[in-house]
Structure 1
Amino acid sequence: MKILRRALAGTVLLAALTAVAPPGANAAAAPDTTIDVDVRAGLATVPDTALGVNHAIWDSELGSTAVSGLLEDAGVQMVRYPGGSYADIYHWKDHTAPGGYVAPGTDFDTFMAGARRTGAQPMIIANYGTGTAQEAADWVRYANVTKDYGVEYWTIGNENYGNGHYGSAWEADNHADKSPKEYASHVVAYAEAMKAVDPDIKIGAVLTMPGNWPDGIVAAGDQGTWNQEVLSRAGDAIDFVDVHWYPGGGNAAEALTKSEQIVDAVQVLRDQLDKYAGRDVGISLTETNVGVGPNTQPAALFLADVYSALLENGVFTVHWWNVHNGIGTVSTVAGQTDYGDFGLLSSGGCTPDNSVCEPPMNTPFAPYHALSLMGDFARTGDQLVQTGSDNPLVTAHASRRANGDLAVLVINKDPDNAHTVALDYHGFTPAGGAPSVSTFTNGADGVRTGASGTATEQTVPAYSLTLVTVRSGRTGGALPQAPGAPVAGTITDRTATISWPAVAGAGKYEVYRQHNGVSELLGETTGTSFTARNLEPGRRYTVNVLARTNAGALSPSSPPLTFTTGSPADASCTVRLADTSDWGNGFVGSIDVTNNAAGPVSGWTLAFTWPTTWQTVSNGWGATWTQTGTKVRVTSDATLAAGGTTNVGFVGAYSGPNVLPGVFTLNGTVCTTA
Structure 2
Amino acid sequence: MAALVAGAGAGALALSAGAAPAVDITVDAGTSLGTVPSTGVGLNTAVYDTYMNDPSAASLMKAAGVRQLRFPGGSVADAYHWRTHTVTGGSWAAPGTDFDHFMATAKRVGAQPIITANYGSGTPQEAADWVRYANVSKGYGVKYWEIGNEVSGNGYYGSKWEVDNHADKSPREYAKNLLAYAKAMKAVDPTVKIGAVLNTPGSWPDGVKAAGDNADWNHTVLSVAGKSIDFVIIHWYPSGAGTADILKTPAQIAGTTSAVRSLLHTYAGPHAASVKIAVTETSSAMSPAQTSQAAALFAPDTYMSWLEQGAVGVDWWDLHNGPGKPTTVNGETDYQDGGVLSVGGCSGGTCEPARETPFPTYWGIRSLTALAQPGDTMVKASSANPSVAVHAVRSSNGGLNVMLINKNPQNAAQVSLSYTGYTPAPGTVRTVSYTKGGTALTTATRGTAAAQKLPPYSITTLRLKPSSAATHTDTPSPASTPNAATPNAATPNDAAPVASASGTIGTRAQATAVGAPVGRPDRSNTAGGLAATGMSDAVTYSAVGGLLAIAAGTVLVLRQRRSRATHGG
The alpha-carbon deviation at position 51 of structure 1 amounts to 0.2
Aligned residue among 31, 45, 56 for 1:66: 56
The 5-angstrom pairing of residues 511-550 of structure 1 reads: none
Change (3 A) 1:654 1:344: closer
TM-score (norm 1): 0.67
Assess if the C-alpha contact under 8 Å between 2:20 and 2:411 holds in 1.
no
Match of 1:417 among 406, 411, 414: 411
Q: Distance in 2 between matches of 1:174 and 1:395?
A: 45
Structure 1 segment 129-208 matched on structure 2, within 5 A? 129-208=120-199
Asked if 1:36 is matched to 2:1, the reply is no
From the two aligned structures, give the one with the greater strand fraction: 1
SS of the residue corresponding to residue 367 of structure 1 reads helix
My pick for the range that moved more, 44-53 or 92-101, is 92-101
Aligned partner of 2:47 among 57, 71, 80: 57
Cα separation, 2, equivalents of 1:183 and 1:258: 30
Contact 2:372 2:395 in 1 (8 A): no
CA distance in 1, matches of 2:349, 2:149: 35
Match of 1:399 in 2: 393
Using the alignment, how far apart are the partners of 2:20 and 2:68 within structure 1? 42
Residue of structure 2 in register with 1:210 after alignment:
201
Q: Which residue of 1 aligns with 2:250?
A: 259
Give the aligned partner of residue 87 of structure 1.
77
2:479 alignment counterpart: 560
- Once the two structures are superposed, residues 47-67 of structure 1 have per-residue CA deviations (whole angstroms, 9 ceiling, x without a partner) of 111100000001111112111
Question: For structure 2, which runs of at least 5 residues remain unmatched after alignment?
Answer: 1-18, 483-525, 532-569
**Which one of 346, 354, 366 corresponds to residue 372 of structure 1?**
366
Q: 2: distance between equivalents of 1:83 and 1:104?
A: 15
Q: Secondary structure at the match of 2:379?
A: strand
CA contact (8 A) 1:330 1:337 kept: yes
Question: Match for 1:61: what amino acid?
Answer: Y
Q: 2:38 matched to 1:48?
A: yes
Asked whether 1:456 is paired with 2:447, we answer no
Find the residue that maps to 1:237 and give its secondary structure.
Answer: coil
Structure 1 residues 144 and 458: alpha-carbon distance in aligned structure 2, compared to 1, 3 A threshold: same
SS in 1 for 2:180: helix
Residue 556 of structure 1 deviates from its aligned partner by 2.2
- 1:298 alignment partner in structure 2: 294
- Three-state SS of the structure 1 residue aligned to 2:220 is helix
SS of residue matched to 1:306: helix
- Backbone CA RMSD of aligned residues: 1.6
CA contact (8 A) 2:320 2:343 kept: yes
Q: Is the 8 A contact 1:273 1:280 kept in 2?
A: no
Which protein shows a greater Rg?
1
| Aligned residue among 325, 330, 338 for 1:329 | 325
Question: How do residues 463-482 of structure 1 correspond to structure 2 at under 5 angstroms?
Answer: 463-473=457-467, 475=469, 479=473
**For 1:3-55, what per-residue CA distance to the aligned partner results, in whole angstroms no more than 9, with x for missing partners?**
xxxxxxxxxxxxxxxxxxxxxxxxxx787111111113321211111100000
Secondary structure of the 2:47 match is coil
Question: TM-score scaled by structure 2?
Answer: 0.79
- What CA distance in whole angstroms lies between the structure 2 residues aligned with 1:355 and 1:344? 21
- 1:423 is displaced (CA, Å) by 1.0
User: Any unmatched runs of 5+ in structure 1?
Assistant: 1-28, 480-554, 564-651, 658-674
- Name the CA distance, whole Å, in 2 between partners of 1:334 and 1:477: 47
Deviations 1:484-516, CA, capped at 9 Å, x for gaps: xxxxxxxxxxxxxxxxxxxxxxxxxxxxxxxxx
From the superposition, tell whether residues 367 and 32 of structure 1 become closer, same or farther in structure 2 (CA, over 3 Å).
same
Q: Contact 1:248–1:292 (CA<8 Å) still a contact in 2?
A: no
What is the distance in 2 between the residues matched to 1:374 and 1:653? 31
Deviation at residue 656 of structure 1 after TM alignment:
5.8
CA contact (8 A) 1:274 1:280 kept: no
Contact 2:116/2:146, CA 8 A, preserved across alignment: yes
Asked if the contact 2:406–2:455 (Cα under 8 Å) also holds between the matched residues in 1, the reply is yes
Larger RCO: 1 or 2 (CA < 8 Å, sep 6+): 2
2:176 counterpart letter in structure 1:
S
Given that 1:206 and 1:241 are in contact with CA atoms closer than 8 Å, whether structure 2 keeps it comes out as yes
Shift of 1:558: 2.8
Q: Which residue of 1 aligns with 2:94?
A: 103
Q: Distance in 2 between matches of 1:427 and 1:30?
A: 29
Q: SS of the counterpart of 2:252?
A: helix
Q: Which residue of 1 aligns with 2:314?
A: 318
More helix by share: 2
Tell me the matched-pair count. 464
The 2-side partners of 1:238 and 1:346 are apart by 37
Q: How far apart are residue 376 of structure 1 and its match?
A: 2.5
